[in-house]
Amino acid sequence: MTLDGFLERHGGWLEAGPEEGPVISSRVRLARNLRETTFPGWASKEVRNRVWNEVVLAFDGVPGSKGFLRWRMDELSALDRELLFERHLISRELAERQTGSGVFVNEDECRAVMVNEEDHIRLQSLQPGMNLQKAWEAADELDNALEQGLSYAFSSKLGYLTACPSNVGTGLRASVMLHLPGLVLTEEIKPVINAVSKIGLAVRGLWGEGSEASGHMFQISNQVTLGRPEAEIIAHLDQIVLEVIEHEKNARLRLMSTQEIRVHDHVGRAYGILANAALMTTGEGLDLLSALRMGADLGLLPKIPRREIDRLFIRIHPAHLQKEAGVALSPEERDIKRSQLIRKFLENK
Amino acid sequence: MTLDGFLERHGGWLEAGPEEGPVISSRVRLARNLRETTFPGWASKEVRNRVWNEVVLAFDGVPGSKGFLRWRMDELSALDRELLFERHLISRELAERQTGSGVFVNEDECRAVMVNEEDHIRLQSLQPGMNLQKAWEAADELDNALEQGLSYAFSSKLGYLTACPSNVGTGLRASVMLHLPGLVLTEEIKPVINAVSKIGLAVRGLWGEGSEASGHMFQISNQVTLGRPEAEIIAHLDQIVLEVIEHEKNARLRLMSTQEIRVHDHVGRAYGILANAALMTTGEGLDLLSALRMGADLGLLPKIPRREIDRLFIRIHPAHLQKEAGVALSPEERDIKRSQLIRKFLENK
């Protein structure tokens, strides 16, 4: 049950996908709870352990469950929990929980089920590029299979019951991770975010709630989960995100037609620093990789595949670097390792 | 009498020289005036023209005068005057004067005589590296030869008379151009400058009086010209500069022994930006070339000869770029040309 294998591979949601220029990935998560069982935040250790055991039992009955790895948080080191967080497989909140909390992850990392997070079950489905529909279908399929062995808390009036009222109803949060450097550089990002917020969608950073938009990454998701069917929520998000993608593409075209030399300068400098620095923080790395990614998108760096940059976005994080080194590293040691990793990646490119 | 040839060559004072790691060049200048002739700042056009003609006549009698190019300021374009200034052959003040003002420059650019600057004659002698003695001898030789055909304003009590009292006496200003990135990075430059100032020497930037220390370049020169023989002034400056060089070398050693990775990072980033930017201002170029030069000095960039970097320090300036382009360039066009010149230089290095 080691996590070492993670270092040699990447999530299947970082394979080629639709609209993968401005889009990293599409995600659907479902919140579910067991009937007549205290929510994890209020439950005793006994109850949390019982929930874990019930979910394990149900999971073993799910077709294809052999393809899932599983870990309890209390058997993982802090570093391994951080590694799962950096790979977007568990939330910060789950990483900090212990008794009865854990996660199931299928081998291509496109589906994961957290147990005893804020809700008893948080089921996530990821797809590369712009593909909310497929993410939804995969989530729905796993949810239905799990429900064969579990009895969910459900009200015919409200829908699925959840620990936080904001998730009651469908328990669905759909989101798309977008890379929007064009809108940032043209300073059009704020009006776009404002417009998106006004129609009931949320915009967050790379790591979800409360995180900043490092590397010009923005997550757009639905806020409302109650009173609308899942298909409608997804269709609405899909439509709005496609509009944001159009804005981003237009911003890039405009940059290239009116300020081409500045774009070359921006991308060239990012490449030059990444390829030659000997110390690099995560934040600077993300911002420079963002510029590099835009350069790859615009055809300025034909030898650097965009999706390989996306994988670096994850590999330069602290837990990944330390896992690879096999020892705990000080912040300066990480800054050295990070710059080495990036330089090696860019060598001969 | 074209200045185009300047673009294909560099000043002889940028050849190899003693202590050329922290030292760019050594310079001696002598201020001289003609007896019973109004100083240029107060003289009529007729007087200034007469002075020019007298100096020309005397110059033609100097052995080797055929090896000197000569230009009157009023026959040069603003761009050509700027070019001579960027090459350290004339002062900003001479570039702005017209009638009767001009310059004689020998072909290796190691000696130049300005006419009708602040004084009637400003004779300059440059040598590569740390070599004040040789610079002094070359200046003295030319001064003596010129004196054969001119009658200098000289008081047996005060020495040579000059327009500004600060030059009365020997009329001598000796200076050494130093590259001191080690002292800047270790933040020891201020105490060193203070100590040097306290013993009667002046510290200025790359372009003399009033200029800032772009590219970590510092000019150290004598202030006092009166009451001490030339040899003593030069010996004193020589001794103090050698001490500053020791400080710089120690600062670099300390940087490399205690912060080697930071030095690598500093030099690597400078190289990366210089080799990949598409826009670069003069100021940024000088600062990054300074880091590159230190890297070359420390053996981190074995394929980049230090003296070629020193020549770039001059070639990236606006008049040089425009002379090379053959047309006037806007600031942005210059920033583009400058980055192209630097990228081309670094290609395959």
Q: Examine the predicted complex and report whether its ipTM is higher than 0.95.
A: no
At residue B212, the pLDDT reads 59
Chain B residues with CB under 8 Å of a chain A CB are: 261-262, 264-265, 268-269, 271-279, 332, 336, 339
Selection from A311, A316, A312 nearest residue A338 by Cα: A316
3-state class (DSSP) for residue B209: coil
Taking residues B213-233, report their average pLDDT: 90
pLDDT digits over B165-207, tens only? 999 999 999 999 999 999 999 999 999 999 999 999 999 876 6
Q: CB of B116 within 8 A of CB of B97?
A: yes
Q: Tell me how far apart the alpha carbons of residues A236 and B232 are, in angstroms, rounded to a whole number.
A: 86
> Is the pLDDT reported for residue B280 higher than 70?
yes
- Average per-residue pLDDT for chain B: 93
CB-nearest partner of A265 from B265, B268, B278 = B278
Nearest-Cα distance to chain A for B256, in Å, is 14
Q: State whether B269 and A277 contact (CB < 8 Å).
A: yes
CB-nearest partner of B261 from A269, A273, A279 = A279
Q: State whether B273 and A275 contact (CB < 8 Å).
A: no
Contacts of residue A221, Cβ cutoff 8 Å, sequence gap at least 6: A173, A174, A175, A176, A201, A202, A204, A237
At residue B118, the pLDDT reads 96
Phi, psi for residue B270 in degrees, rounded to 5: -60, -45
Among A255, A269, A298, pick the best mutation site for testing chain B contact (most B Cβ within 10 A): A269
Q: CB of B92 within 8 A of CB of B112?
A: no
Q: Tell me how far apart the alpha carbons of residues A310 and A345 are, in angstroms, rounded to a whole number.
A: 12
* CATH code of the region B3-252: 3.30.590.10
Selection from A138, A142, A146 nearest residue A33 by Cα: A146
B2 pLDDT tier (thresholds 50, 70, 90): low
Chain B residues inside the 8 Å CB shell of A273 = 269, 272-273
CB-nearest partner of B264 from A271, A273, A278 = A278
Q: Tell me how far apart the alpha carbons of residues B105 and A74 are, in angstroms, rounded to a whole number.
A: 81
At residue B19, the pLDDT reads 87
Helices (H), B18-77: 45-60
**Which chain B residue has its CA at the smallest distance from A336's CA?**
B261
Q: State whether B279 and A271 contact (CB < 8 Å).
A: no
DSSP A31-62: EE-BTT---TTT--HHHHHHHHHHHHHHHHTS
Q: Tell me how far apart the alpha carbons of residues A3 and A84 are, in angstroms, rounded to a whole number.
A: 9
CB-nearest partner of B268 from A261, A276, A336 = A276
Q: Tell me how far apart the alpha carbons of residues A28 and A292 are, in angstroms, rounded to a whole number.
A: 28
A–B interface: beta-carbon pairs under 8 A: 54
Nearest-Cα distance to chain B for A260, in Å, is 10
What are the tokens at B262?
């930071």
b/e B86-103 (16+ beta carbons within 10 angstroms → b): bbbbbbebbbebebbbbb
pLDDT digits over B35-74, tens only? 999 999 999 999 999 999 999 999 999 998 998 999 999 9
Q: Tell me how far apart the alpha carbons of residues B70 and B104 are, in angstroms, rounded to a whole number.
A: 4
At residue A8, the pLDDT reads 81
- Tokens 């977008």 correspond to what residue? A178
Q: Tell me how far apart the alpha carbons of residues A172 and A174 are, in angstroms, rounded to a whole number.
A: 6
Q: Tell me how far apart the alpha carbons of residues B339 and B334 are, in angstroms, rounded to a whole number.
A: 8
Chain B residues inside the 8 Å CB shell of A258 = none
At residue A207, the pLDDT reads 61
CB-nearest partner of A272 from B261, B265, B272 = B272
CB-nearest partner of B279 from A262, A272, A278 = A262
Q: How many CB atoms lie within 10 A of CB B197?
A: 13
At residue B255, the pLDDT reads 96
User: What single letter denotes the amino acid at residue A6?
Assistant: F
Contacts of residue B316, Cβ cutoff 8 Å, sequence gap at least 6: B280, B282, B285, B286, B289, B338, B341, B342
Nearest-Cα distance to chain B for A342, in Å, is 13
Chain B residues inside the 8 Å CB shell of A278 = 261-262, 264-265, 268
Answer yes or no: pTM beyond 0.90.
yes
Selection from B211, B130, B230, B212 nearest residue B173 by Cα: B230
B31 pLDDT tier (thresholds 50, 70, 90): very high
Among A276, A335, A340, pick the best mutation site for testing chain B contact (most B Cβ within 10 A): A276
Nearest-Cα distance to chain B for A12, in Å, is 33
Phi, psi for residue A120 in degrees, rounded to 5: -60, -40
Establish how many alpha carbons lie within 13 A of residue A247's alpha carbon, considering only the half-sphere containing its beta carbon: 23
Q: State whether B268 and A261 contact (CB < 8 Å).
A: no
Among B276, B335, B343, pick the best mutation site for testing chain A contact (most A Cβ within 10 A): B276
Chain B residues inside the 8 Å CB shell of A265 = 277-279, 339
Among A255, A259, A265, pick the best mutation site for testing chain B contact (most B Cβ within 10 A): A265
Q: CB of A285 within 8 A of CB of A316?
A: yes
Round to the nearest angstrom and report the end-to-end CA distance of chain B. 36
The pLDDT tens digits along chain A (349 residues) read 467 778 888 899 999 888 888 999 999 999 999 999 999 999 999 999 999 999 999 999 999 899 899 999 999 999 999 999 999 999 999 999 999 999 999 999 999 999 999 999 999 999 999 999 999 999 999 999 999 999 999 999 999 999 999 999 999 999 999 999 999 999 999 999 999 999 999 998 766 555 556 889 999 999 988 889 999 999 999 999 999 999 999 999 999 999 999 999 999 999 999 999 999 999 999 999 999 999 999 999 989 999 999 999 999 999 999 999 999 999 999 999 999 999 999 997 7
What residues does CATH 3.30.590.10 cover in chain A? 3-252
Q: CB of A176 within 8 A of CB of A222?
A: no
> Is the pLDDT reported for residue B327 higher than 70?
yes
Among B267, B269, B343, pick the best mutation site for testing chain A contact (most A Cβ within 10 A): B269
Q: State whether A265 and B272 contact (CB < 8 Å).
A: no
DSSP B249-297: HHHHHHHHHH-HHHHHHHHHHHHHHHHH-S---HHHHHHHHHHHHHHHH
At residue B225, the pLDDT reads 87
Q: State whether A278 and B265 contact (CB < 8 Å).
A: yes
Q: CB of B218 within 8 A of CB of B226?
A: no
CB-nearest partner of A261 from B262, B271, B279 = B279
At residue A274, the pLDDT reads 98
Chain B residues inside the 8 Å CB shell of A276 = 268-269, 271-272, 275
